[in-house]
Structure 1
């Protein structure tokens, strides 16, 4: 049940609004709890499978798949006009006509893009001469997987609008199990880069079946574009953000792939995935926050307080996790992934600034989107694309593939500042300093202490585990010493997510 559907419990608008907010809060916390449980499950699957795949396959194989996936993703951005986000953001209920029209419009776009890619697939070898000859058919099979996956959009959106992330979590687990399970099996059978392609196809088929079993929506044969014109007006700039963000990130597969080859892409993608592993927390938050923030967009003071609390809770976990992983990165890589991945460590360090900063700028970003300001984000991301390519390309040419990640610390700082300014101009006040400094300094000190200790030890799996536990304990002690109320707040927040204790 979405917020707009909650019954009025009082004739007092303020009391009614508070009742609605509390109901939304409870549902959002339950949603975050479901997603975190799902994230734990999928991350365990991901980490185990990634380690196995990293040992079975070469950086070259990872790079080939990354390039193929990039090409499919590039064209797939034109198979969506942001209607999914528009449906989630829309106030009030959705009509059957809106849903059906959205479904058929998206299918028309998806099939147009798919046929185009299928026909133009041979051009891939012209752009990437180092790709193997069978890469053309890898691309075509990936396009088929993309078409199949598009069928689940509407039922998945209905679950998100209703903040039914417990059910979405089930779909995500199925997707993760199917992709990594099939990838490991085919890699074991010696299929190299094809392992990922077969796995992507299996994931699409199984996820569509699962979504329709959980959310049995059926499209009607209705199409009236005027019924979704308003959605398109919001969706286009929103999708424009996605296209530009995609172009920004395309420095790796597009330029690094052509300039340094698939192996370099493999190292960069490994470093990025390794660095972004802690993002399970932010992903869970982000998927719940957009529909939840959108429901309270008219109450600027409440939205500001909600954003601040989100920042406190996310950074309390993201900062220490990132700090400890950075401190022990060489030891983790040597023991877990093997030494063939060590050349990617410098790139990993630069990428780590994003997961460290995302606990701050993600709530700000979602706050802006919830206000319906997709066009402002579009302008900012346009500038970011110019920056990433203008600085990233010369850095790659001068420093090698590590240069692609050197822009990360700068972009995190700039965009955090700009998002805060935009919210302030829209009447949403957010104080960053008091909400992040205690966690930041405690995490940095814990990371330094553990690094100094690791240098003096011969690290094996037992020592590595002990160091991680010691680092987490040191962080907690420092935070308790300087800001105990923040730890108490997080404990209550965690209980709310887990459904423990009294409901407030």
Structure 2
């Protein structure tokens, strides 16, 4: 018997706890990328970005959707389920390690990045078998909706990764620092996860368990495969043909634009997927949960994206070591604007996955993959590396289809959840653009601009939607 009040209580408390802890994580990440942007060259970002695309493709083979199946499973998983999933992941992770060694032996990476890329890729390869030891404890915590514990290993991982990365960057290590930081993160994460949620490690290949899990998992993984063709494989092809400096600009802009997304959308998704899965068959409760996630995500991410877009040029002009990123500023703005649509579509596609409508998300992913491979080369031809971000923005408008699919199942009131935040963001952007020259005159003026535009958003939102805001906040109790 599903206790809706218990799900709501755990989801809300989990969301608050998860958000606070992830705010710390993103704060660490922001400090790190700020330091790296000052001390690393565009080529350093390009090297790491190139290797990450290879790993992004190989990650697909590290899982066949078993973790998602275990979370989505309506009945509690058995020990055979857990051990079978762990065994399959171990086999796949060592297979990936073998593929990485073959790639390194061929010299494919070294030809593009030099020896540094080789060591970064090797470090990432070692992290695969280590990561499998965290999967089952993570699933157990997610099924219990114990999100406050789930974030703790990530905090330790981020501190280890970014702390070592910053230290080595300040000491002039260059991009090889990524290799040491990756290994430190992997080891620390496994140790902390096992302290928080130990489980009886064992190996098994139970046919009944695997058949049940793979029924959902394979479809989930096909969806993931298309996402990797759209993203990692495509960006890997870009890295092969574009100069390392140009790809470094793209990587830098993309990294910065993703921070608001990771802080807000990713936070919410980690909580809503298991929560929405429990609400299958409870249409009204699911409707309210979807609408709340849309409201709070857009309320948080819209002003952050606008702020980044408005203040990137003044910031670059004020920080001498950031002058090298001037060519990438336009890409950062365009990527940030495209993220606004992702903030809407991701919760909705996540909803479809959580309630078992994976076939519908597959259709969307096929469309986005085809559009990416067709439009982006055209954009690059006409606009250079900035064409990647231009194409991403154009494609993002098709995310409106995710609203259509969800409304076929759950009658959500989409417009009512986002129009106030959108209007407040537009007013905020107007104020920001009008004062842009003033914000560029000094750090004091820059800080005043950030405060003023932030207040503009908050005041506008309260003017047009005070009752809505208060109602949504009260409903969380």
Question: Which TM class, normalised by the smaller chain length?
Answer: over 0.9
RMSD after superposition: 1.9
Sort the Cα spacing of 1:218 and 1:333 in 2 relative to 1 into closer, same or farther, 3 A.
farther
Answer yes or no: is 1:110 the counterpart of 2:93: yes
The alignment partner of 1:193 has SS state of: helix
- Give the match for residue 153 of structure 2: 171
- Give the match for residue 36 of structure 1: 19
Answer yes or no: is 1:52 the counterpart of 2:40: no
Answer yes or no: is 1:466 the counterpart of 2:448: yes
2: distance between equivalents of 1:344 and 1:265?
Answer: 10
Sort the Cα spacing of 1:387 and 1:123 in 2 relative to 1 into closer, same or farther, 3 A.
farther
Q: Choose 183-192 or 307-316, whichever is displaced more.
A: 183-192
* Superimposed CA distance per residue, residues 12-59 of structure 1 (whole angstroms, 9 cap, x where no aligned partner): xxxxx5xx1111001001111111111111111111111111111111
2: distance between equivalents of 1:492 and 1:161?
Answer: 26
Shift of 1:477: 1.6
1: distance between equivalents of 2:357 and 2:13?
Answer: 27
- Give the match for residue 407 of structure 2: 424
2: distance between equivalents of 1:359 and 1:138?
Answer: 31
Answer yes or no: is 1:254 the counterpart of 2:236: yes
- Give the match for residue 59 of structure 2: 76
Report if the CA contact (8 A) 1:38-1:172 is conserved: no
Report if the CA contact (8 A) 1:255-1:393 is conserved: no
Report if the CA contact (8 A) 2:54-2:232 is conserved: no
2: distance between equivalents of 1:197 and 1:452?
Answer: 44
Report if the CA contact (8 A) 1:252-1:268 is conserved: no
Shift of 1:419: 1.5
- Give the match for residue 331 of structure 2: 347
Shift of 1:130: 3.2
Shift of 1:170: 0.9
Shift of 1:410: 2.9
- Give the match for residue 392 of structure 2: 408
2: distance between equivalents of 1:451 and 1:124?
Answer: 48
Shift of 1:134: 4.4
Report if the CA contact (8 A) 1:251-1:389 is conserved: no
- Give the match for residue 200 of structure 1: 182
* Superimposed CA distance per residue, residues 352-405 of structure 1 (whole angstroms, 9 cap, x where no aligned partner): 123322332222112111110112212321221111011112212331111111
Sort the Cα spacing of 1:158 and 1:354 in 2 relative to 1 into closer, same or farther, 3 A.
farther
- Give the match for residue 264 of structure 2: 281
2: distance between equivalents of 1:311 and 1:457?
Answer: 32
* Superimposed CA distance per residue, residues 149-191 of structure 1 (whole angstroms, 9 cap, x where no aligned partner): 2221111111111111111121111111111111112223332
1: distance between equivalents of 2:121 and 2:440?
Answer: 45
Shift of 1:262: 2.0
Report if the CA contact (8 A) 2:123-2:183 is conserved: yes
Report if the CA contact (8 A) 1:333-1:342 is conserved: yes
- Give the match for residue 315 of structure 1: 298
- Give the match for residue 500 of structure 1: none
Report if the CA contact (8 A) 1:271-1:345 is conserved: yes
The alignment partner of 1:328 has SS state of: helix
2: distance between equivalents of 1:138 and 1:380?
Answer: 33
- Give the match for residue 437 of structure 1: 419
TM-score of the two chains, using structure 1 as the length reference: 0.90
Report if the CA contact (8 A) 1:314-1:359 is conserved: yes
- Give the match for residue 216 of structure 2: 234
- Aligned with 2:249 (options 239, 264, 267): 267
- Aligned with 1:375 (options 347, 351, 359): 359
Tell me how many residue pairs correspond in the alignment: 475
Report if the CA contact (8 A) 1:350-1:406 is conserved: yes
* Superimposed CA distance per residue, residues 280-332 of structure 1 (whole angstroms, 9 cap, x where no aligned partner): 01111110000001111212232122212221122122222212221112113
Q: Choose 404-413 or 309-318, whichever is displaced more.
A: 404-413
Shift of 1:487: 2.5
1: distance between equivalents of 2:422 and 2:343?
Answer: 11
Sort the Cα spacing of 1:96 and 1:335 in 2 relative to 1 into closer, same or farther, 3 A.
farther
Shift of 1:436: 1.3
